[in-house]
Amino acid sequence: MYELRGVTKRYTRGKEAVVALDSVDLAIADGDRLVIQGPTGGGKSTLLQMLGALDRPTAGEVTLDGTDLAKLSEAKLTKVRSENIGFVFQSFNLIPTLTAQENVETALVPLGIKGKDRRERAAEALKSVGLGERLGHLPSEMSGGQQQRVAIARALVKEPKVLLADEPTGNLDESMRDEIMDVLERMWKELGLTFIMVTHDSSIAKKAPRVATIRKGRITVKENAGA
C-alpha cells in the first residue's frame, strides 16, 4: 500500500520556483484502481513520478509497504522499480530494433531471469494481451494499439504489485482506446494489481471507482459510487 504524507515537489526554472506538488496526502490500498486527472501543468505526471520512485520529493514521505522511497539509495530504488512497479507511457517507449518478444524480455533482464525461462515468460505475457501471433514483429510492423499492448506485456511480465500508466490511450484513436482500456482492466482484475492511471479522458474517469484531481499541486479525491 502507498501512503503519501505532506509530499511537496518544487522545481526551479532559472530564478523561478514551481511548486508542482503542494503537501499531498494520499493513501492507496493494495488492489485499488485510481484515476488521476486535472488541468495541464497541475502536477499529475509529477505525482506519478513520485509513486514510481522515478524522482524524489522535496519534502514529505512516499511509503510503499512501509518503506519510505525518498530515503532509499539509487541502487535500492532501481531494485524496487524493477521488481515491483510496471510503467506504461503515452508514447509506447518500445525499442525499435527489438521484436515484441525481445522488448518484453528486457523487463526480466534486471531480475536475472535468463534464457529459455525469459523467452517463455515474455511469450506468455504477449499471449495474455492477445499478441501470441506477433512475437517476432518489430514495433514498426504493428499498429499503435498493438504496440501499447506490447508495452503492457513488458510492464506486467515481471508480475509487479503496482502498474502506473501515464496517458496510456493518449496517442490512440477511440476504438484502440477502448481496446487498451479493456486489456488494462482485465489485467488489473486478473493480477490483483494496484493500478494508478493519469488520463485527460473524462469518459475513462467516469468509470473509475476512485478519482484524484490535481490542480496547482493540490489534490482532492472522490469516490465514484456508480463505477
Give the residues lining the site for ligand ATP (CB under 6 A).
11, 13, 18, 20, 38, 40-46
**Please, what's the largest Cα pairwise distance for the chain?**
54
- CA-closest candidate to residue 209, choices 227, 222, 195: 227
Q: What are 123's three cell numbers?
A: 511469450
Closer to ligand ATP by Cβ: residue 40 or 140: 40
Rounded CA gap, 155 and 164, in Å? 9
CB of 224 to ligand ATP, least distance (A): 20
Beta-sheet pairing, 67-68 with 59-64 = antiparallel
Shortest CB 215 distance to ligand ATP, Å: 9
Which residues is 85 bridged to in the sheet?
Answer: 162
Place of cell 502506473: 164
Report the SS3 class of residue 197.
strand
Is the Cβ of residue 92 or residue 157 nearer to ligand ATP in the bound state? 92
Q: Toward ligand ATP, which CB reaches closer, 87 or 129?
A: 87
Q: In the complex with ligand ATP, which residue's Cβ is closer, 38 or 168?
A: 38
List Cβ neighbours of 175 (8 Å cut-off, separation of 6 or more): none
Beta bridge partner(s), residue 27: 3
Residue type, 111: L
Q: Are 97 and 140 in contact (CB under 8 A)?
A: no
Q: Of the two residues 12 and 140, which places its CB atom closer to ligand ATP in the complex?
A: 12
